Every structure is written in structure tokens, then in C-alpha cells.
Structure 1
Amino acid sequence: MTVPAAYKPPLLVLVGPTAVGKTQLSIEIAKTWNAEIISGDSMQVYRGMDIGTAKIAPEEREGIPHHLIDEYEPDYPFSVAEFQRRCRELIADISSRGRLPFIVGGTGLYVESVCYNYEFVDSGADEAFREEQRRYAERFGEQALHERLRAVDPESADRLHPRDIRRVIRALEVHHLTGIPLSKQLEGQKKQSPYELCMIGLTMDRAALYRRIDERVDRMLKEGLVDEVRKLLAAGVPRDAVSMQGLGYKEIALYLDGACTLDEAVYLLKRDTRRFAKRQLSWFRRMKDIHWVDMGENFHKNLEMIHAIIAGKFGVHLECTSYQSFFRRG
């Protein structure tokens, strides 16, 4: 079959803040639309980090293939550029097999970089500058380093947590080397997609979302989050590793280091997760082309609405009994 020059492979994307309910919906959507799921979560790529990342267990996947989960050891510096490259490869492979690529996750920059084909310019490195910033953080604290970033790139400062020292330093380094804030470089992207995009965003009443976040943290603790972090540290995963900057890991590590009580660590985790959810929503609301679904409705109503959005975008009639096989055509 000859593929027209203008052909764009279909790509389904489901985004939203943490704890909004993406995982459960994604399984039902994938089953209906013959999809394979690509995790759009920057932390789920790491092995041994299951509880704190709310990683879907193999027995819960109902036979749906999942990609970019358990790919790397926790000391590996996984980056947005690598995520983008891997996604491009996966999307091409999944599409070639007549199935629908389906990105599900809440890491805004990662997902957006794939959807709109961001070009990451190698601005180089200045190891002496990095070391200077690390020493500054050790002497004056993470917050002081974060304020340095806020002074030159407030948008990146809003996106990055003060404890995410590696990424804070990288944003400072980009500005140091290029004179242009990282956030401005991201804004300058053309944002033209190489895919036929169907993007769905999940939202929820703020108070209800925050209750779900608190309940999720409590559940993670019961499931053994403290032991999970303890094992990672005992295995030699560095405190400044990318993986250890994830929510749940940095807070519990503080407790295990004796820097705070467990109650204090849990308070920080719930607070920081709520703040993270707010930043996620802000990020996604800036993205174009997203169809928003309020998760305050009945689950089955939401699912029907999502099926209708997908069918409308990809030109499938819901009354057609073969639409579940639509992406098998070749």
C-alpha cells in the first residue's frame, strides 16, 4: 500500500495531574482501541521504584503492552531528550504493527516534546560551572540555589522543585552558556506535530483531587514506601540521582537520613504532591489541542465521552461494530 506523503501516524495521549485517575481509564481505552501504552511518567522507567511512582503492576495491565516501564536502573540519568527518542521509535514500531500508540502520563515537558517534535539543541556543558553551583547549594541550601534560577528564569523555577538540584543546575547552566533562559528556548519551539494527535486531559475539582492525593500517599506508606526507599539507598543509589528527586523518594530519604520525623516527611510529601499537581494542570492548560474531561462525572460516562472524542478525531463511527479493530487496518 502506498502511504500518502502527508500521512501522519495517529497518536493518542492521555494527560492530567497525579492521582486524577489516568491509569484505570487508560486500560479500558487501550482495550477498546487496540492500543499499546507508552508511559509518559519520567520516574516509571526505573526498576525497583514501584510504590512511590504508583506504577501499574503487571497483573493489572490486562494484557495491554506497556512501554518505558522498568527500563533502567535507578542510577541512570534518564532525560527528556532520551524519552523523546525512545517514544519516536516506539510510535513507529507500534504503528507499523497496526496498533495505536497511546502515551499516558503526567510529565508535561516529556509528553509535549514528543507531541510537538521539540528540537533539543546541545548547548554544551561547563563542568566547572556545575561544580560551583553544587558547592553553592551545599553551603547555602537548595532554596538559595533555586532562587538563583528564579532570578534568571522564573518559569523554569516554577516548574522545578528546589530539591531537584540536578535539573536546577542544568537550567542555570543553559542560561550561563547561551544567555537565553531554558523556558524561552522551550517557548520558541514551533509546536507542529508529526502525528495525527488526539489529546485528552483529565481534570477534577481541586478539593477532591487533593483528597485523592492524600489517600494515595497514605496507601503508599501502607504498601511499604519507606522500605522501598531504604532498599534503594542501601543499594547505593546516589542522593542526587535523577530517580531520587521523584516525589516520595526525596521526602522519605530525608526521614531516613534523620533530617526530619516520619510525620514531617509525610506532611512534606502530601504538600509537595499537591503543589506538583497544580503545576501539572498549569502546564497542560497551556498546551493546545487538549480535549478536557472532568473526572467528577461517573466513570462510565467519562469513558463514553472519551470514546466519542477519539472516534471523532480519528474518523471512526461508534455505531460500527468493527471500530475496535480500526487500527489493525494496513
Structure 2
Amino acid sequence: MNNVTDDNRPPLLVLVGPTAVGKTALSLQLAHALNAEIISGDSMQVYRRMDIGTAKLMPEHREEIPHHLIDICEPEHPFSVSEFQSLCTQKIQDIHSRGRIPFIVGGTGLYVESVCYGFQFQDIGADESFRIEMRNFAHEQGAQALHDRLNAIDPISAAKLHPNDEGRVIRALEVFHLTGKPLSESQDQKRGDDKKSPYRLCIIGLTMDRAELYGRIEHRVDDMIADGLVEEVRSLLQLGVPRDSVSMRGLGYKEIAAYLAGETNFEDAVAILKRDTRHFAKRQLSWFRHMKALEWVDVGEAAKNNDLFPRICAIIAGKFMIDIEYICS
């Protein structure tokens, strides 16, 4: 690779975008071209035995390109953003030491940003009795009432969280309970900018027409059901994974778990899953739009011109100052 830049920071390639936009296929193509290793930037793919609901690339399809931070912990483990940041930073160093490019691919905005800009996380701690109190409140008054409590003290965090994201809503309330300060205030203080990033960043965001994206989401959910999502969730529950664990509150798992518990019928569970996934994609796009130094690429527009890969290559070449012919060859 012909690299001509005075910036001595190590390069870090990042590909983000909403669920179902097409990140996986493109990431494999780019990783081949760039001699890169992929680091999953997805908060759910860290869990073992949670494959279908997380749209995880199966091991046989990961053989040619090394993938990291997939299947690294049990579903009972409450994996956190600070844990991801630490592990991901180590992986980036390891990949650089082998002379390859680290390539984060995923849709969990906070996880990705925490690495790109070196967020500093304080050990705020926890108050289990407060968490139980908030769970009971949500059970009695509803998810919206819990979300309203957060909105009253931290409207910025509330705007980023769906009322159904009970775990993160409670955590934001807990931070305020423990520190007297909104979670958003401490996060804003920790956010860096491109000049303070420890890496020479190239962040590419994929987007597409909203109606087309929602159509893809509908098909993805149908495919997950056909591939055995119900059986996957049933197996996890039979293994004793608690329904209130971080992993089981993920999209696809909480909806199907509710169906298996007899709290809703199958058709309604699938409809709720599709709706919540659409809402999730909308929140992802909102988060990414606030990320600095992100280069947007419209997948639908590029597909019409049959130039998605060359367009991405041109962005990478400009950011990393490398020969575009090298990437596209």
C-alpha cells in the first residue's frame, strides 16, 4: 500500500449504518481489498448462541477474513460499552502490529464512537435496589411512564432512547440517581473531535431511501423467523438465560420471548418485532447523523449507478492518502 501522509496516527476504517442496509456484504469486499481485519461494532454479536436474531455472519463465512469481538461472552453476561471499548482498543493494536488495517463494522453508535474518540468512562457504580424499583415501576405504570421520568431530568438522553429500551432508560435514570447529573452531560464532556481521536479515521455511513430500508427490514425479520429464530430463543430460555438479562432484551429476543411466555400471539410478536426494528433503524440514523467526520453514501443511488464499491474506495483513498487503484484492483 502506497501511503503518503504526515499524520502518524494509525488508520482506523469504520463502516456504520442502520440494520439491513447492507454493511456485511460490503465489509467483506472492502476487507479483501484492503488486507483488513473486521471488528464487530454490534452490541449483540458478542453473545454466544445468539446467531439468528443478531444477523451474525456464520463461522464458515468468516474463514477468509478474520473477525473479532463475535461470540466472546455468554448471554447471561451484561456486556457494556466500556468493556467493548477496552477490548476493541486492544484488537486495534493487535491488528496494526500485524501490518493490517483494523476495520470496525456495526450499527451500535455509542460503541463505535467510544473507540473512535476515546471516550473516558467513569466507574459510576450501580444501585441494584434502585434498578429493581424502576423495573417494578415500569411493570406497573408502563414503559412510557418510565421514559417520561427520564425525559423530565435528561431530555437529551431520553430523545436517543426508545421507551421499550428499558435497560438503558433505567441506567440513565440510575446515573442521575447516583451522581445528580444527567447521563448526557457526562457523555458530552467525554466526546472528542477528529483532532483528538487517537486514530486517523475514515468513517463511512450507509443510508438509503427510508421506504426501501423498511422493506429490507421486513424481509430480514421474515428470514429470521424462517431460519429458526423462535427455536433459538426457546433454546436460550431453556438453558436458563433470564428474560431480563441485557442480551434477552435485544431486538428479536424480547418479542419472541413474550410470545413463548404466552403474553402475545405469534402474529403480533412478529409485527411488533418489525415495528421495533424500523424504530431502531430510525434511531441509528439519528445517532450517526451527529457523528463527526462521517462520509455518507446512499446505497440505493450508488446501486443505480453500479458504483457503490468504487465510490467507497474513493473516500478511503482520500482519507488515508493511498492509491485508489490499489483498493479497487
Common topology (TM > 0.5): yes
Deviation (angstroms), 1:6? 6.9
Moved more, 234-243 or 190-199: 190-199
Deviation (angstroms), 1:160? 2.7
* C-alpha contact 2:314 2:324 (8 A) present in aligned 1: yes
Which of 285, 298, 314 aligns to 2:303? It is: 298
Which of 199, 204, 215 aligns to 1:200? It is: 204
Moved more, 56-65 or 34-43: 56-65
**Residues 53-68 of structure 1 mapped to structure 2, 5 A cutoff:** 53-61=54-62, 63-68=64-69
Q: How far does the alpha carbon of each residue in 1:38-62 deviate from its partner, in whole angstroms, 9 at most, with x for none?
A: 0000000001111100001122235
Deviation (angstroms), 1:133? 1.6
Which of 227, 238, 244 aligns to 1:240? It is: 244
What's the % identity of the aligned pairs?
65
**Which residue identity is paired with 2:173?**
L
Counterpart Cα distance in 1 of 2:149 and 2:197: 34
Structure 1 gaps, min length 5: 326-330
**Which residue identity is paired with 1:266?**
V
* C-alpha contact 2:13 2:201 (8 A) present in aligned 1: yes
**Which residue identity is paired with 1:304?**
P
Give TM-score scaled by structure 2 length.
Answer: 0.93
* C-alpha contact 2:310 2:328 (8 A) present in aligned 1: no
* C-alpha contact 1:308 1:318 (8 A) present in aligned 2: yes
Q: Indicate how the Cα distance of structure 1 residues 55 and 134 shifts in structure 2: closer, same or farther if over 3 A, else same.
A: same
**What is the SS of the residue equivalent to 1:43?**
coil
Moved more, 247-256 or 299-308: 299-308
Give TM-score scaled by structure 1 length.
Answer: 0.93
* C-alpha contact 2:207 2:297 (8 A) present in aligned 1: yes
Q: How far does the alpha carbon of each residue in 1:4-25 deviate from its partner, in whole angstroms, 9 at most, with x for none?
A: x973111000000000000000
**What is the SS of the residue equivalent to 1:298?**
helix
* C-alpha contact 2:40 2:68 (8 A) present in aligned 1: yes
**Residues 1-330 of structure 1 mapped to structure 2, 5 A cutoff:** 7-61=8-62, 63-191=64-192, 192-296=196-300, 297-298=302-303, 300-319=306-325, 321=326
Structure 2 gaps, min length 5: 1-5
Q: Indicate how the Cα distance of structure 1 residues 204 and 6 shifts in structure 2: closer, same or farther if over 3 A, else same.
A: closer
Counterpart Cα distance in 1 of 2:189 and 2:280: 24
| 1:328 corresponding residue in structure 2 | none
Deviation (angstroms), 1:206? 0.4
Aligned residues: 320
Counterpart Cα distance in 2 of 1:21 and 1:324: 19
**Which residue identity is paired with 1:164?**
D
